């Protein structure tokens, strides 16, 4: 079953966010993904593995190449989680003063 904390944990790393930004452009192979980083391909592959395990990335093999593709659903659900709480905070009278406080 889906648990939003896994999505947040997967997003909680600068390298992985950069990978996601690349995959938002287009499907990308592992070696191409690793290229811009000053770290080994093994390390990047591990990051992709963490994204895949969280359901954020799908890996497809064609020939000797592994192509990575973004899966947007978990991020949509994570956004929804934030959205729900955002609404709740804004409507919660007890916290309204606090909320306004923070706008300064």
Partner DNA sequence: TTTATAGTCAACCATATAGTTGATTATCAA
Partner DNA sequence: TTGATAATCAACTATATGGTTGACTATAAA
Q: What residue ranges bind a second copy (CB under 8 A)?
A: 3-6, 8-14, 16-17, 20-21, 24-27, 69-73, 75-76, 78-79, 82-83, 85-86, 88-89, 92, 94-95, 98-99, 102
**Residues in 18-37 at the binding interface with DNA, rule: CB under 7 A:** 29-32
Distance (Å, whole) CA 45 – CA 66: 10
Question: Which member of 21, 36, 39, 90 binds DNA (CB under 7 A)?
Answer: 39
Look up residue 12 and give its DSSP letter. Answer: S
* Per-residue CA distances from 54 to 17, 27, 85 (Å): 13, 18, 22
| Residue 78: strand pairing partners | none
**Residues in 60-99 at the binding interface with DNA, rule: CB under 7 A:** 62-67
Distance (Å, whole) CA 90 – CA 88: 5
Footprint of DNA on this chain (CB under 7 A)? 9, 12-13, 15, 29-32, 38-43, 45-47, 50, 62-67
């Amino acid at each position: 079953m889906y648990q939003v904390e896994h999505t947040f944990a997967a997003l909680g790393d600068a390298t992985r966010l950069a990978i996601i930004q690349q995959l938002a452009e287009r499907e990308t192979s592992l070696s191409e993904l690793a290229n811009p980083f000053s770290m080994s391909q093994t390390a990047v592959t591990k990051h992709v593995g963490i994204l895949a395990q969280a359901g954020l990335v799908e890996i497809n093999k064609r020939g000797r190449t592994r192509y990575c593709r973004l899966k947007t659903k978990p991020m949509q659900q994570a956004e929804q989680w934030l959205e729900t709480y955002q609404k709740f905070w804004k409507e919660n009278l007890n916290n309204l003063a606090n909320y306004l406080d923070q706008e300064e």
